Amino acid sequence: MELFAVIMAGGVGSRFWPRSKEKKPKQLIRIVGDNTMIQDTVKRLEGLVANDHIYVVTNKVQKLRVKEQLPQIPEENIVDEPFGKNTAACIGLASIILKVKNEKAIMITLPADHLIKDDEEFRNCLSTAAAYAYNTNGLVTIGITPTRPETGYGYIQFDEKNIDKNIHKVLTFAEKPNISTARKFIESGDFLWNSGIFIWRVDAILEEMKQYLPDLYDGLLSIEETIGTKDFERQVVNVYGRLKSVSIDYGIMEKSNNVYLSKADFYWNDVGNWEAVYEISEKNDEGNAIVGDVYTANTFSSYIFSPRKFTAAIGVENLIIINTNDSLLICNRNNAQDVRNVVEHLKLNNRTELI
């Protein structure tokens, strides 16, 4: 069984503005710890997937920084999409490239920007999923046991009966719920968080695309004919220009009857916004998480990031304050999801120097 990993790293991380920007997004900055998130993602695969079997799908703007941060990954394994068309296209492009290597290889697909603790358990979980996917042609995802009624995650309903070692049949996928629905999911006991990590054989996912996303599949076949030639990039641009933007969840996973789940026994957080960073950060006696040159008085339960400028916060609470060279964000922690609206505002007003 030959293992490959495909790391999806093309996002812009707009909910992490002003630190995350198009040329240096969330996955390419240090959010937690000494490494960037994509560096941690690659390090987590050590001992499971060889460096020359790791592929990164990014975009032209970010490709150079990805190469700089991951010198151990062969340059030809860093693939840039001409423009973003969501996860189905990203995974399809990687699949057709790996098909040339070994169409029966296992492909572990994972985002570049998640926080995971207990790397050994993570690798054990992937190994279990990979063995099942290889032997059955099933599509396997990793489910996370919920710790709270979270409205920012998708959910997966599963059959609690084991099909194989820690392998369960997936019953339904559920989009991000409202708070009352999320509580019902938690109470039922048969819903897990959707981690966005997938394990399957290359030929299995391509067969599913042939059935459920035929336009994408046909485009991929035309790309396959040009792999290794000077026409490859041009053909990728042609195909992407005709594709609809579809997620792998909506396009395949919600429709297929061949989907299974392995339950994770490790800490996982998709670190989706500044509120998530506050939650996982070390805090002082006042409940503040502080990075940089900061003075506080009568300030509580806030995340303050200001490494290059002196920042003072007095008489406030429950805030996110991000002070960078060119921008300042002040946001109530309850509104962390709305930070992406700032990026949309800047785009509409042609303030490209700030994004």
Structure tokens at 111: 């985002």
Low-confidence ranges of the chain (pLDDT < 50): none
Residue 216: exposure state from Cβ atoms within 10 A (0-12, 13-18, ≥19) = buried
Structure tokens at 295: 């003075």
pTM of the model: 0.93
Select from 119, 12, 5, 4 the least CA-distant residue to 65: 12
Cα-based distances in Å from 268 to 61, 109, 259: 28, 16, 21
**Alpha carbons 236 and 249: distance in angstroms, whole number:** 22
The pLDDT, as a whole number, for residue 10 is 86
CATH class, domain 3-269, is alpha beta
Structure tokens at 290: 């502080």
> How does DSSP assign 278-347, residue by residue?
HHHS---TTS-EEEEEEEEES-BS-EEEEEEEEEEEES-BSEEEEE-SS-EEEEEGGGGGGHHHHHHHHH
- In the chain, what are the domain boundaries? 3-269, 274-354
Please tell me what DSSP assigns to residue 317: B
Select from 224, 216, 207 the least CA-distant residue to 137: 207
Tell me if 116 sits within 8 A of 44, measured CB to CB. yes
Structure tokens at 99: 């098909």
pLDDT digits (tens, 9 = 90+) for 173-230: 988 899 999 999 999 989 999 999 999 999 999 999 999 999 999 999 999 999 999 9
The pLDDT, as a whole number, for residue 24 is 87
For 254-264, letters b (16+ CB in 10 Å) and e give bebebbbbbbb
What pairs with residue 216 in β-bridges? none
The pLDDT, as a whole number, for residue 255 is 95
Element (H, E) at 204: helix 202-212
Cis omega before residue 149 (within 30°)? Answer: no
